[in-house]
């Protein structure tokens, strides 16, 4: 029996499929890629198999944005995937692998880009092709903290669509040699893969850890928005499910929902419910996730207004247009007012009890929406809570109770909070032209106005940390941005309580400078830690390359040993033959003559 190649969409479950095949007795490779240490996940990738794909991809990926290591490029699909040289290298690799083991498995998602080439190497090779819902794949890719996937979800979608199309084309043409399976289905019932392959799995291998490939809480809304905004993605997913030998389980296929499921701005009676306001300027690549999060947590007392703050990005404009056509409340502005101006304009569309600003690249969680009752009952003017950072980093941030002591010398409460509409109207809304700190300015003015802050003990939203986010910016630059807000705050203080405003500003700025210096020290320490981790990763990759070279050298030594053994066998056969015995005197005479010729002449 020959080998099995596991390929598919990255982060779809190829490692799980390979682990199951290894449990069934298949060998994953002589030298494996080092497993990532943090989560204990086993990659089970043959180093030579991976090295071959990387060597094939590098010269064949067209220029453009994307993720070159996975062959994802806006310039188009890979070129020359059927080149004669590539096919010869694939055949040589399979021949070597067949010589090493009778039952082997090789896994690399990148193999999906070269399936016809691998199929041409050996008619006995079989394939396990793994797919997963696109929103689940994109979420898993964020867990890598890769800057590309964090800053542009479109890369994950582009890669998903290209790979899904390749899987479908191959599976339709090679039905007898491949299994098309859903990663979600493998996690739900691991034993079915063994049954389909005719290779029963041990009972222990049929138990997966709880929570593996758990459904995203926004899955239903994301599926509905995919159908609206990305029909090609939705079409490919439907075709994969229809063709699959092991499709997604019924409980992992979200029930269709009508869009918009959330009320547009201005529908609720005055003084009730909450209006979510999403400003968006050229952030369309994140907008579907933000809208899906609102759809997931919204109830009958939730409105949504999306404010286009002068976008000129074609993809953002396309998405905003489709959302508006579907019935979402989209307010178009010429731009220039900044995020504060966009929020203020959005609030004019409604008369709800509270306003909840949500940045286009963040996601809302249910506890904050459910807390609107505190404002409706006049128990609080501002309700806020913890938030989860995701993307470039992962952490939960717990804010303090609001006071001048906790909010000076820098802001510690995010803009994503419930704000009573009367308070907003009293303060004139968010400051227009306040740079990045319009929320800090609002909180300071709210405290001076006697506003009641209520902190809830829950994670209220997800904050996307992207390359260049405020959390990772230069702290000296941040201090310079702080100064106008602090001066504005000092100017708002009653002069009777603080007659020397200049001295107050100087004192507050001194505190800010010291706090930011401490934060800068932490940032430098984090940078050193990241550099050390990068050096460790580089060393691991170098070791991986050396292991691959060692494998190649071992192969060459094995080939040389085989040739030596062949020659020895041939020599032994010759020495035992009649002709060898008959010519023995002649060979002896020849040796005597050679010795005679080597003797020095007599002196």
Give 47-88 pLDDT, tens digit per residue: 999 999 999 999 999 999 899 999 999 999 999 998 999 999
Give backbone dihedrals phi and psi of 420, rounded to 5 degrees, phi first.
-65, 135
Residue, of 222 and 491, whose pLDDT is higher: 222
Q: Is the pLDDT of residue 427 over 70?
A: yes
Place domain 263-468 in its CATH homologous superfamily.
Spore Coat Polysaccharide Biosynthesis Protein SpsA; Chain A (3.90.550.10)
Hey, CA dihedral for 470, 472, 474, 476, is it positive or negative?
A: positive
Host H or E run for residue 387: strand 382-391
**Comparison of pLDDT for 588 and 141, the residue scoring more:** 141
- Which uninterrupted H or E stretch holds 374? helix 373-376
The angle, 0 to 180 degrees and rounded to 10, between the axes of the packed helices 84-100 and 47-57 is 180
What lies within 8 Å, CB to CB, of 193 at 6+ separation is 17, 20, 21, 128, 179, 181, 186, 201, 246
C-alpha torsion 276→278→284→288, nearest 10? -10
Cα 271 from Cα 352, distance rounded (Å): 5
Q: What CA–CA distance (Å, rounded) separates 444 from 204?
A: 58
Least confident of 275-284, 404-413, 498-507: 498-507
C-alpha to C-alpha distance for 78 and 590, rounded to whole angstroms:
64
What's the rounded Cα separation, in Å, for the pair 508 and 466?
A: 29
Whether the domain at 4-252 and the domain at 263-468 fall into the same CATH topology: no
Task: Kindly report which listed range (275-289, 304-318, 357-371, 556-570) carries the lowest average pLDDT score.
Answer: 556-570
Tens digit of each residue's pLDDT (9 = 90 or more) over 459-487: 999 999 987 665 544 445 555 666 666 66
Mean pLDDT over the full length of the chain = 86
- Reference 107, options 197, 22, 206; nearest CA is 22
Backbone angles phi, psi at 507, to 5 degrees: -65, -45
Say if CB 278 and CB 287 are below 8 A apart: yes
DSSP string, 251-307: GGSPPP--S--SEETT-SPTTSSEEEEEEESS-TTTHHHHHHHHHHH--TTEEEEEE
Distance CA 504, CA 494 (A): 12
Distances (CA, A) of 556 to 33, 88, 549: 21, 17, 11
Which numeric CATH code is attached to 4-252?
A: 3.40.50
Q: Does residue 189 sit in helix, strand or coil?
A: coil
Structure-model confidence comparison of residues 374 and 477, the more confident one = 374
Residue 23 CA to residue 187 CA, distance in Å, equals 15
For residue 437, report the phi and psi dihedrals to the nearest 5 degrees: -115, 30
**For the residues 179-190, what does the mean pLDDT come to?**
93
Q: What value does the mean pLDDT take over residues 26-36?
A: 85
Q: How far are the Cα atoms of 138, 209, 567 from residue 219, in angstroms, in the given order? A: 12, 21, 65
Rounded Cα–Cα distance for residues 397 and 209 (Å): 28
Q: Indicate the pTM of the whole model.
A: 0.81
Q: Indicate the angle between helix axes 475-492 and 501-575, nearest 10 degrees.
A: 160
Answer with the residue of higher pLDDT: 546 or 244. Answer: 244
- Where are the domains positioned within the chain? 4-252, 263-468, 474-518
CA angle, 191 then 195 then 198, to 5°? 135
Banded model confidence at residue 540, pLDDT cuts 50, 70, 90: low
Residue 207: pLDDT band (50, 70, 90) is low
Q: Range with the lowest mean pLDDT among 24-38, 197-211, 330-344?
A: 197-211
β-pairing verdict for 302-309 and 263-264:
parallel
DSSP state of 456: E
Percent of the chain surpassing pLDDT 90: 60
Question: What percentage of the chain exceeds 70 in pLDDT?
Answer: 81
Confidence at residue 87, expressed as pLDDT on a 0 to 100 scale: 93
The whole-number pLDDT of residue 474 equals 46
Higher pLDDT: 502 or 577? It is 577
Q: 570: phi > 0 → left, psi -120 to 50 → alpha, else beta; which?
A: alpha
Q: What is the DSSP pairing of strand 354-357 with strand 363-364? A: unpaired
pLDDT at residue 401 in the model: 94
Q: Tell me the HSE value of 165 on the side-chain side, using a 13 A CA sphere.
A: 8
User: Which bin fits 93, alpha (ψ -120 to 50), beta or left (φ > 0)?
Assistant: alpha
What was the pLDDT predicted at 409?
A: 67
């Amino acid at each position: 029996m020959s080998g099995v190649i596991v390929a598919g969409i990255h982060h779809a479950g190829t490692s799980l499929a390979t682990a199951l095949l290894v449990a069934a007795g298949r060998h994953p490779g002589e030298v494996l890629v080092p497993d990532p240490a943090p989560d204990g996940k086993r990659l089970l990738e043959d180093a030579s198999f991976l090295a071959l794909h990387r060597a094939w991809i590098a010269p064949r990926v067209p220029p453009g944005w994307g993720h070159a290591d996975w062959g994802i490029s806006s310039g188009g699909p890979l070129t020359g995937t059927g080149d004669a040289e590539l096919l010869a290298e694939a055949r040589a690799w399979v021949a070597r692998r067949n010589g090493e083991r009778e039952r082997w498995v090789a896994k690399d998602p990148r193999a999906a880009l070269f399936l016809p080439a691998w199929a041409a190497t050996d008619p006995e090779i079989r394939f396990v092709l793994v797919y997963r819902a696109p929103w689940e794949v994109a979420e898993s890719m964020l867990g890598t903290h890769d800057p590309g996937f964090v800053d542009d979800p479109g890369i994950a979608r582009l890669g998903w669509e290209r790979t899904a199309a390749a899987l479908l084309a191959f599976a339709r043409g090679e039905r007898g040699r491949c299994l098309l399976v859903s990663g979600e289905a493998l996690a739900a019932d691991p034993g079915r893969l063994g049954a389909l392959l005719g290779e029963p799995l041990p009972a222990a291998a049929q138990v997966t850890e709880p929570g593996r490939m758990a459904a995203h809480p926004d899955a239903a809304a994301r599926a509905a928005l995919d159908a609206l905004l990305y029909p090609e993605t939705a079409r490919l997913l439907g075709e994969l499910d229809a063709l699959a030998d092991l499709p997604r389980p019924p409980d992992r296929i979200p029930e269709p929902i009508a869009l918009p499921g959330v009320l547009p701005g201005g529908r609720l009676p005055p003084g009730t419910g909450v209006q979510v306001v999403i400003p968006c300027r050229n952030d369309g690549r994140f907008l579907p996730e933000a809208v899906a999060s609102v759809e997931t947590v919204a109830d009958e007392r939730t409105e949504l207004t999306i404010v286009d703050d002068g976008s000129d990005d074609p993809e953002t404009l396309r998405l905003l247009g489709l959302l508006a056509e579907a019935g979402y409340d989209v307010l178009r502005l010429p731009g220039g007012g900044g995020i504060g101006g966009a929020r203020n304009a959005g609030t004019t569309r409604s008369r709800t009890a509270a306003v909840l600003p949500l940045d286009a690249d963040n996601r809302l969680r249910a506890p904050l929406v459910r807390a609107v009752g505190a404002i409706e009952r006049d128990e609080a003017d501002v309700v806020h809570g913890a938030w989860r950072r995701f993307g470039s980093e992962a952490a939960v941030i717990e804010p303090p109770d609001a006071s001048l002591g906790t909010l000076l010398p820098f802001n510690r409460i995010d803009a994503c909070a419930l704000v009573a509409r009367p308070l907003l109207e009293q303060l004139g809304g968010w400051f227009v032209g306040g740079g990045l700190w319009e929320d800090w300015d609002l909180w300071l003015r709210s405290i001076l106005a006697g506003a009641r802050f209520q902190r809830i003990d829950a994670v209220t939203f997800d904050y996307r940390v992207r390359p260049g986010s405020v959390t990772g910016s230069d702290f000296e630059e941040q201090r310079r941005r702080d100064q106008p807000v602090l001066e504005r705050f000092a100017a708002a203080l009653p002069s009777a309580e603080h007659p020397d405003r200049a001295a107050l500003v100087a004192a507050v700025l001194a505190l800010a400078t010291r706090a930011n210096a401490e934060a800068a020290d932490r940032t430098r320490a984090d940078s050193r830690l990241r550099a050390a981790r990068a050096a460790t990763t580089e060393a691991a990759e170098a070791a991986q390359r050396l292991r691959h070279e060692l494998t190649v050298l071992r192969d060459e030594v094995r080939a040389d040993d085989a040739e030596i053994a062949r020659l020895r066998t041939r020599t032994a056969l010759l020495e035992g033959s009649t002709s060898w015995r008959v010519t023995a005197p002649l060979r002896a005479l020849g040796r005597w003559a050679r010795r005679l010729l080597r003797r020095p002449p007599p002196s």
